Amino acid sequence: MSISTSGTTPRARAITAAYQRPQRESTIKKEPVSSYFGELTFDLAKMREKLPKESYQNLLATLETGKKLSKETADNIASAIKEWAVANGATHFCHWFQPMTGLTAEKHDSFVSIQYSNHSEVRVMERFSGSQLIQGEPDASSFPSGGMRTTFEARGYTVWDPSSPIFIVEEENTRTLCIPTVFFGYHGQALDNKTPLLRSVEALSSTGCEFLKLLGDVDVKRLQATLGCEQEYFLVDKNFVALRPDLVMSGRTLLGAQSPRGQQLDDHYFGAIPGRAKAFMEEAERELYRLGIPVKTRHNEVAPSQFEVAPIFEDANISADHNALTMEVLKRVAKRHGLVCLLHEKPFAEINGSGKHCNWSMSNDKGENLLDPGKTPHQNLRFLATLAVVMKAVHEHAPLLRVGIASAGNDHRLGANEAPPAVISVFMGDTLSGILDAIEQGQGNASVEEKVIELGVSKLPTFARDNTDRNRTSPFAFTGNKFEFRAVGSASNVSVPTCFLNTAVAAEFAKATERLKTLLDEKSSRDEAVLELVKQLVTETKAIRFDGDGYSQEWLEEAAKRGLPRYDTTADALPVLKDESLTRFFQDMNVLSPDEIKSRYQVALERYNMTIDIEAQTTIEMVTNQVAPAIEEQLKTYYEVEDDMHSKTLKATYAERIAELENTFDTLLKTTKTLNQELQTVRSMEEEAQMQAYCNKVLPLMLEVRTAADISERIVADNAWPLPKYREMLFAMNLS
Ligand code: ADP
Ligand code: MG
């Protein structure tokens, strides 16, 4: 018998190491946050301080009107940035961008310029020109373009986005200046997630301002989308991850039996943060502050070893950059603490997955939040009108909002009984629902002003807070003065869902403007026309309002009755992007061209297929190389023990024990073989059929394999099981 004794297997060593790992010594600066906030960014304040006055004014003009920077200004800005970056230890710069993979990308270039004179005298200096700042040309051919570039040319360009602050990424031994950029192809087609987001904000601002002007806000110049993303994540000791091919390859466990205790005791949520996690958070937060990212809250989440960090909201474009950066910082800092930060939507089966609640609203150029009920009847009316337009947007564009959050990872949440369901609905809360119902039924002779006061809109924010518990199950909840898009996945790039939401609302602002114009002709006063519009919109969008339990079966049935679209999986949702009316819609809104939307569909499709393929392969490998050998050892022991057995009755009982594992093993081997065969079949299909087959054939087979493997995990001797178990990965943090 060769089952290794406890304490010497890699898994046993990982457990010991995890429990004995000393907490990393605090690197926390003793100074107040205000003294180092943003020290790694070259923000507008630094621009003002370091630039010649005229260059600074030119930059402001560019930010406000999009006017092109002159070469001289660009050179001045580049030189100021270089001085600052080099003084802070940066040796390289890079154009930082967000390709359609949903990740971030960067290509580093050195500042150093080395020149040799005729007499071989070497001149070394740091250089950074305006054109290097503004435009870059990464080797783009290896970024996914959904086939778009092959039809044109394999070149892509990155162009500086001056609205998002430049920053330095500080790693153990390197400091790199990062320039936020957009990424597009030779013919100006967007190859990234930032460009469409910026275009959607443009669209929102232009149609939104038209609408607000008609409401009476005649001097409104600009609208801004605001965004604050609550980021959930898991922390797992890195030694456990190293022993799990599934976590390394796919970021989630593909096998693994439940531990008896999961989250049922509800003791993790808002519980005391374990020391090791807190040390990690403090360091991560410090890094985030230095990057000018305004993180505000931290707490445990529902599942063991699950946590959340949330920032104060910012302009949507900056907030999206900051969220991408936050994810990078979390991963980087976790390593220093001997941890791995898992951003996957469902790292562990049967316990809660991770989301990224996107808090979203709009504000005007005076900084007023349009979804804030406000104090005056006019503000209240504006609030109701804006709210109704957003409801209309969700009602009309639910499939678009659904496809914006679709990914292989998020499928594990949206389909399951834990996260907002795959049906898009809106939570309003009792108070607001009451107000909306009253508007819908609204009659009477009172003036609009009196009616609005009577409705009690201005008291809303005080009531809305009480609803946070019930809106957990809603994909899109109104929480007092903003919407919370709760169905977004933890690993996603928020630019995509935010862009889709902005575009949907922009389109409905435009339609509402036309309707309001007609109503203004019909009604005796503007306020009456506005209230009538609100009434119509509220009536038309009733179907998407739902405050009940979004997890329940009754809701799914009710939603079907109401005719709400339902896309349970990415394979169901992605084809929405091929819809001709959607293509026209994006083109009309100037957010995505037909080519761009086609390429996005293509990239998402390929990513989905590759993700499931990798997961399936990894499952097969783990079974073949790790699980099966463990079972074989166990069976060998069984057979030896059985041979030596004297008692007949014990032998009979023991035969059951053997049969149990034999049966499980048989099932495991058969299902794994079927999975393997199916995988080969699927690979020979064309891509769209592939997507359906990965979803409907491969994933269910992976689950069958998993079930058999998990049963054997419960049977095989603990010290013979090679893979770290759920109880170890999830609870080590509490003990160390
Ligand atoms: P709640 O407890 O009701 O969820 P919080 O004030 O804790 O509200 O906010 C949660 C998140 O919503 C934070 O990131 C916050 O900055 C963000 N948020 C608040 N107001 C807005 C807004 N107007 N637009 C976008 N995000 C917002
Ligand atoms: Mg939360």
Residue ranges of the domains in the chain?
A: 31-191, 199-230+355-584, 608-735
Residues measured by CB to lie within 5 Å of ligand 2, the ion: 230
Question: For residue 310, which atom of ligand 1 is closest to its CA?
Answer: 14
How confident is the model over 195-228, as pLDDT tens digits?
999 999 999 999 999 999 999 999 999 999 999 9
Pairing of strands 41-42, 356-364: unpaired
Question: For residue 481, which atom of ligand 1 is closest to its CA?
Answer: 23
Ligand closest in space to the Cα of 306: 2
Ligand closest in space to the Cα of 296: 1
Topology adopted by domain 31-191: Ubiquitin-like (UB roll) (3.10.20)
pLDDT at 734: 63
Ligand closest in space to the Cα of 480: 1
Question: For residue 229, which atom of ligand 1 is closest to its CA?
Answer: 14
- Residue 670 contacts by C-beta under 8 Å, 6 or more apart in sequence? none
Closest alpha carbon to 499 in 158, 212, 182: 182
Would you call 29 helix, strand, or coil by DSSP?
Answer: coil
How confident is the model over 455-487, as pLDDT tens digits?
878 777 666 555 566 677 889 999 889 999 999
Question: For residue 230, which atom of ligand 1 is closest to its CA?
Answer: 14
Higher local confidence (pLDDT), 531 or 273: 531
Mean pLDDT of 45-61: 93
Question: For residue 360, which atom of ligand 1 is closest to its CA?
Answer: 25
- Binning pLDDT at 50, 70 and 90, where does residue 549 land? confident
Question: 260-269, 346-355, 451-460, 699-708 — which is least confidently predicted?
Answer: 260-269
pLDDT at 152: 45
Would you call 563 helix, strand, or coil by DSSP?
Answer: coil
Nearest CA, atom 4, ligand 1: 479
Q: Compute the distance from residue 355 Cα to the ligand 1 centre, in Å.
A: 16
Q: Pick from 482, 483, 501, 505 the residue to mutate for probing ligand 1's pocket: most ligand atoms within 8 Å of its CB.
A: 482
Residue 622 Cα distances to 256, 421, 650, 707, 727, angstroms:
11, 31, 34, 14, 19
Contact 568, 415 (CB under 8 A): yes
Q: Compute the distance from residue 357 Cα to the ligand 1 centre, in Å.
A: 10
CATH of the domain spanning 608-735, picked from 1.20.1300.10, 3.40.50.300, 1.20.1260.10, 1.20.120.1560: 1.20.120.1560
Question: 262-266, 448-452, 541-545, 560-564 — which is least confidently predicted?
Answer: 262-266
Question: 206-220, 296-310, 351-365, 682-696 — which is least confidently predicted?
Answer: 296-310
Q: Phi/psi of residue 625, each to 5°?
A: -95, -20
pLDDT at 150: 52
| Average pLDDT for the chain | 90
Residue 436 has pLDDT above 50, yes or no: yes
Q: Compute the distance from residue 228 Cα to the ligand 1 centre, in Å.
A: 6
pLDDT at 266: 64
Q: What percent of the chain has pLDDT over 70?
A: 92
pLDDT at 419: 67
Q: Compute the distance from residue 300 Cα to the ligand 2 centre, in Å.
A: 9
How confident is the model over 302-321, as pLDDT tens digits?
788 999 999 999 999 999 99
Torsion-angle region of residue 28: left (phi > 0), alpha (psi -120 to 50) or beta? beta
pLDDT at 143: 66
Report residues whose beta carbon is within 6 angstroms of any ligand 1 atom: 226-228, 310-313, 359-361, 369, 468, 479-482
Residue 603 has pLDDT above 50, yes or no: yes
Q: Which two tokens stand for residue 315?
A: 């302009």
Q: What is the pTM of this model?
A: 0.94
The vertex-417 CA angle with 416 and 423, nearest 5°, equals 70
**Helices 316-336 and 495-522, interaxial angle, to 10°?**
160
- Binning pLDDT at 50, 70 and 90, where does residue 414 land? confident
